[in-house]
Structure 1
């Protein structure tokens, strides 16, 4: 395991505008009759803006679009077509994805997207279609989280078609599904096992893997880094959505070709994980050992990121 020095977050351009700080396209949310998930894409988009992105564009199922934007009115919304049961219409949703991600500087896919393991289930098919479209895009950096990871794990040979420059953010259960699908080592509870499993998945797909948990590990398959910060208050619903949105916001600013200096995806992943962990510590210091609500975590990101620039 190599432990590279955590890079400094670049200074903010005092003369920048919305375009300077990039557009994040976030794909998530679920309007399926059996499981409506509204908060995840809203919180992720809020985290992207709190991370300093210029614009956040949320692509979500049309029946819940107004509710998502009501939670974060600073984002713009794009409706993904759905069928009678609320599931995405695969071909039409993929076309909307193509249209509205072309001008983005980063893409986040997965928060609250929805998944069902039934054979040819409409929810699973809609999710799978848009996720597989996302991994074919090589031009825009991609964050893959939550149900998008489950969709990949359920798709035979997905790694063969994987072209995206991507950061995957699995929790241990999602990692287990991906590793099993690819016949890779599973992560145990010890640091050495988690490191080996994280590195193996990153090498196999050719991406950055953020294996979440106490002592989150980041790897590109060659170099790895372990976060030494964090707090148990982060073990609550929605904090993963904050991380994926935070990473999308940092990618949009610092990984696009025009960025000066331009950071690698590995560097962005390490900075994002560190900022997320420090925000958790700050919340616990100012509040309590437990009781964090994910939306509150986003409010601390500007302070933490500003400290990381100094």
Structure 2
């Protein structure tokens, strides 16, 4: 990571250093249990994308929990499905939990976040609808070990400003967000930024192909899987964002137009990117 005006550039070399190692003694439990409260009857695809991304990122167990499940376990055999309600989610086991993608802006989402805060659950990732709920219900600050993954519009709602102002002053905005939220903040966009307490990282991968619905759900699932492996919050955010962007760069290197990139393409390219980065250190 190269220091540049108090911003550290997170590049391929850093990604290689932090990528979880392989071990012949690995098992499903050691590779982490990811619980995703994502998707709904209205937006079932958000949860599916996040779950598949978590699996591709190496999570040993992935459970997708959503109310009024609108997808089939026969069509999605690689992860567990749970019909969610306000009581049973607390009985589910996990090493890291994601709340938000396509989950809905409602009291149930707010109650989940409040309960996770109350229980001092450490490995929590909030995205999309969960961030809107936090802003509307004034649930900030969060726990220092949590990760939030807003785009400029979501961050603007949290800060009470406009998306244009966030875009014009991204570094200032993410620092303000970290002070407000008291956790790791990943501001998505061109060269995404990750803000911890007193340190900022710039992600040196990615292109405009990621400007498409669903890619944020994929990123959230990837970060959850890394956090379930007990990587630090900042490392999980930086590594997940770098690999996510590297998939888009690889798509372009294959002589494919960024305009055609889909969220599911990122998931399919991820194994190749991980293999390339891991091989470069051997």
TM-score normalised by L of structure 1: 0.80
Q: Does 1:51 align with 2:57?
A: yes
Partner of 1:150: 132
Partner of 1:131: 113
- Contact in 2 for aligned 1:138/1:164 (Cα 8 Å): no
- The 2-side partners of 1:155 and 1:234 are apart by 30
Q: 1:68 to 1:241 in 2, by over 3 A?
A: farther
Further displaced range: 202-211 or 144-153: 202-211
Q: Counterparts in 2 of 1:69-148, with a 5 A limit?
A: 69-70=73-74, 72-81=76-85, 93=86, 95-100=87-92, 103-115=93-105, 124-148=106-130
- The 2-side partners of 1:126 and 1:188 are apart by 29
Q: Counterparts in 2 of 1:198-217, with a 5 A limit?
A: 198-217=174-193
Partner of 1:267: 235
Q: 1:186 to 1:289 in 2, by over 3 A?
A: closer
Q: Secondary structure at the match of 1:225?
A: strand
Q: Does 1:188 align with 2:166?
A: yes
CA offset at residue 164 of structure 1?
Answer: 6.5
Q: Counterparts in 2 of 1:230-269, with a 5 A limit?
A: 230-253=206-229, 255=230, 263-269=231-237
Partner of 2:36: 26
- The 2-side partners of 1:247 and 1:231 are apart by 19
- The 2-side partners of 1:63 and 1:17 are apart by 29
Q: Does 1:3 align with 2:13?
A: no
Partner of 1:84: none
CA offset at residue 289 of structure 1?
Answer: 2.5
In structure 2, list runs of 5 or more residues that go unmatched.
Answer: 1-5
- Contact in 2 for aligned 1:186/1:197 (Cα 8 Å): no
CA RMSD of aligned residues (A): 2.2
Runs (4+) off by over 6 Å? 183-186
CA offset at residue 269 of structure 1?
Answer: 0.9
- The 2-side partners of 1:69 and 1:187 are apart by 43
Q: Secondary structure at the match of 1:154?
A: helix
Q: 1:155 to 1:68 in 2, by over 3 A?
A: farther
- The 1-side partners of 2:173 and 2:83 are apart by 37
Number of residue pairs matched?
A: 268
Q: Secondary structure at the match of 2:265?
A: helix
Cα deviation, 1:163-219, whole Å, max 9, x if unaligned, reads 362110000000001111xx89985334xx211211221122221000011111001
Q: Does 1:176 align with 2:156?
A: yes
In structure 1, list runs of 5 or more residues that go unmatched.
Answer: 82-92, 116-123, 256-262
CA offset at residue 2 of structure 1?
Answer: 3.7
Q: Does 1:304 align with 2:282?
A: no
Q: 1:106 to 1:68 in 2, by over 3 A?
A: farther
- The 2-side partners of 1:294 and 1:223 are apart by 30
- The 1-side partners of 2:258 and 2:273 are apart by 19
